[in-house]
A and B are shown apart, each in its own frame.
Chain A
């Protein structure tokens, strides 16, 4: 459900910002970069990012103008200084309550603060890296699998598919359908609107009834997923 017409504002172009910026760019996002120092922006320009701005993060008006002018829909706070990320998150949330803010942090302590400040998603970078290390050490096959699925093979994708009303899945029990046999995809789980917006794993063992509005999280090859989505929308 990637909407590539989303415009993303990336605050901070340090070590984190650069990596995030490059990845977003390669995924084809429309990117605006803002940093408080010119040094960071020089790097951004060298990385062929077109829209770069120097901004004073203590100036609310400047930030508001930037977001309004570019019709930003998502904001990334990627300063290396955690305090700045917290401050920025709270600023943006104060200005635009519904803006989606994703922030980086390096510790549990800041994660908590960022969540309190209203960040929609928080990436604890140290935690992510440590976790990765753990899998490399203890479960190398799982690490390999995740690398492959997430990063190496672009044809393998996750999809979050909402079940439309009246589709062939509406009202069906999970056990009645074999996703692998029919579509060659893997169903990981679903978010059930009736049970609150919680993600439920498919292996829970409970025979779950799928309703319209549920979101299925599926994993598979792009073409298989497309076939599945087409079928769901009432195609052939």
Chain B
């Protein structure tokens, strides 16, 4: 079909102008994103409400249609079903088709290509592409279900009522678990297809032979269909017994297909079970990632090595939230059994962290026992977030610089720590033991930090004015943030055993030693005093 040149140009101009108008419109984009989130984004908080609303509509409409089969229903219920529910379904269907892709982008792309290659704008190609994209949506199984679910509202054709079934299927869309079930089955598509062919073949062969042998002898077998029915009932090991073979030949066939039936059933079971086994871990990981998304102050621990194990035990005791990522399936299984959140994934891969919101992550720790792997992890994390606090374990001291370059904020090495402690433990064994006890909170004594909160009684006081003895704690020193420091490592300055006239400022942190109970008491007094002053 050839359009007159003028008309053609006119259509192209309108199309392109319209496409650019949409592309440039912020409002259009906002609205489209909103609907896309509402319909397709599981992370979107309002999607849940929308899903619940749709489930309610489906259930009520199904009840109405079933009720209608036997008894006449009230006019209002009829209107509700035919106009409201169907209306919502149609709108939803159209909205889904709309958000499925952006057609204005196709037009713009073609326009730019045409401009670049100095050829004519190809209208046919654009329309074909648009039709193809939309068809992609229309032909998808869920869209077909949606479409068929609209049909039962057309009451004039009673047969369409059958499609009420599709309203039930439509429920699938709003339930995550069932969609997972279908995903699992589709992952085994080829195996299931093989199975289906095998079953069909067996039914065909055995059904035909039974028909041939028994059509005359058996009063229950009148058509080929009866033979196929019998064959399926037997092969599936259901065996109703309404049709039984009467001749010897028939019984021999029965024996053969009973044996092959057992094989086919176990084949089918094993396919489905193995599919679930494969996918189950993935699904579990997804669920864990989902649950983690809501927690703030999350620690992500990559590699469950012995150092991580101790740290995790400590964090778990304190009720902190963390996520362990390890490559070893067995280890992850063990951890989940203990009730810890662990997923089996490669922390140096991009997909692992794709769904993690790093704004809510307190720190990431790369604790695997390979420097190379830790460097990979650090680089990977930094590709997601520049700000998140990143700690890495180092093994070889040659890797120190490399890990720093890879973006690690802090490096920990058991070897260096051991070395530092070793000389001190010879020199001052009791002191080191005391410090260890304090740090580990053994015997209820501990070392803790208390921040000088704005408005608390600590603000603007001199150290000498605070009677630490009365609080039954010992002040070791004060950490002050030095904003002018050039290097990050030097930002915190520690003032050991400050003089009595040391003036405390807001954001200073007191490092104190004492018994658990006295420190907590002191902390709560600081907090209380800050609240009290604010009120006044």
Contacts and interface: CB of A to CB of B under 8 A. Distances in A.
Interface of A: 1-2, 6, 8, 15-16, 18-20, 22-24, 26-27, 29, 74, 76, 78, 102, 104, 106-107, 121, 123, 125-142, 144-151, 153, 156-160, 180, 184-189, 191, 199, 201-205, 215, 217, 219-221
B14 interface: no
B428 A160 contact: yes
B430 A102 contact: no
Nearest to B433: A199
Nearest to B410: A136
Given A150-B435, A217-B430, A203 B413 contact: no
A149 B497 CA distance: 10
Given A148-B496, A158-B431, A202-B474, A29 B423 contact: yes
Contacts of B448: 139, 142
A26 B426 CA distance: 13
Contacts of B425: 102, 121, 123
A128 B417 contact: yes
A141 B433 CA distance: 20
Given A146-B439, A158-B428, A184-B497, A126 B472 contact: no
Interface residues of B, number: 69
B283 interface: no
Contact of B439 (A131, A159, A199): A131
B420 A151 contact: yes
A188 B420 CA distance: 21
B421 A186 contact: no
Interface in B385-427: 391, 393, 395-396, 410, 412-427
A141 B509 contact: yes
Given A140-B492, A203-B472, A20 B422 contact: yes
Contacts of A2: 426-428
A203 B522 CA distance: 13
Contacts of B391: 133, 136-137
A203 B424 contact: no
A134 B511 contact: no
B310 A126 contact: yes
A150 to B, nearest CB: 6
Nearest to A203: B514
Determine which residue in B299, B309, B449 has the highest number of CB atoms from chain A within 10 A of its CB, and name it: B449
A26 B420 CA distance: 11
Contacts of A129: 307, 393, 412-414, 417-418
A140 B413 CA distance: 17
Contacts of B475: 186
Interface string B311-330: 10011001010000000000
Given A133-B311, A145-B511, A160-B430, 6 more contacts: A29-B426, A125-B415, A130-B309, A139-B449, A188-B434, A203-B514
Contacts of A159: 428, 431
Nearest to B475: A186
Given A19-B415, A133-B311, A149 B472 contact: no
16 contacts: A2-B428, A20-B422, A23-B420, A27-B427, A106-B306, A126-B307, A129-B414, A132-B412, A140-B492, A141-B509, A141-B511, A148-B477, A157-B428, A160-B431, A189-B434, A201-B434
B529 interface: no
Contacts of A24: 422-423, 426
Given A29-B423, A203-B514, A125 B418 contact: yes
A210 to B, nearest CB: 16
A136 B410 CA distance: 9
A201 B45 CA distance: 52
A115 B416 CA distance: 23
Given A130-B307, A141-B511, A199 B497 contact: no
B19 interface: no
B445 interface: yes
Nearest to B362: A137
B479 interface: yes
Contact of A125 (B299, B417, B513, B518): B417
A123 B419 CA distance: 10
B419 A16 contact: yes
A217 B494 contact: no
Nearest to A224: B497
B429 interface: yes
B515 interface: yes
Contacts of A137: 299, 362-363, 391
Contacts of B492: 140-141, 144
A212 to B, nearest CB: 18
Determine which residue in B418, B420, B448, B473 has the highest number of CB atoms from chain A within 10 A of its CB, and name it: B418
A27 B423 contact: yes
Contact of A150 (B420, B430, B438): B420
B426 A74 contact: yes
A94 B391 CA distance: 43
A139 B451 CA distance: 11
B426 A130 contact: no
Given A24-B423, A123-B418, A148-B496, A203 B430 contact: no
B419 A23 contact: yes
A204 to B, nearest CB: 7
B477 A145 contact: yes
B499 to A, nearest CB: 8
Contact of A146 (B393, B435, B472): B435
Contacts of B513: 188, 201, 203
Contact of B472 (A27, A148, A205): A205
A135 to B, nearest CB: 7
A204 B311 CA distance: 28
B497 A186 contact: yes
B418 A20 contact: yes
Determine which residue in A6, A138, A156 has the highest number of CB atoms from chain B within 10 A of its CB, and name it: A138
A144 B426 contact: no
Contact of B422 (A123, A135, A157, A185): A123
B479 A145 contact: yes
A1 B492 CA distance: 31
B221 interface: no
A116 B427 CA distance: 24
B498 to A, nearest CB: 10
Contacts of B477: 145, 148-149
A32 B438 CA distance: 33
B149 interface: no
A230 to B, nearest CB: 19
Contacts of A18: 415, 419
B494 A203 contact: no
Contacts of B431: 158-160, 188, 217, 219
A147 B420 CA distance: 10
A138 B318 contact: yes
Determine which residue in A1, A15, A129 has the highest number of CB atoms from chain B within 10 A of its CB, and name it: A129
Interface string B474-503: 111101000000000000101011000000
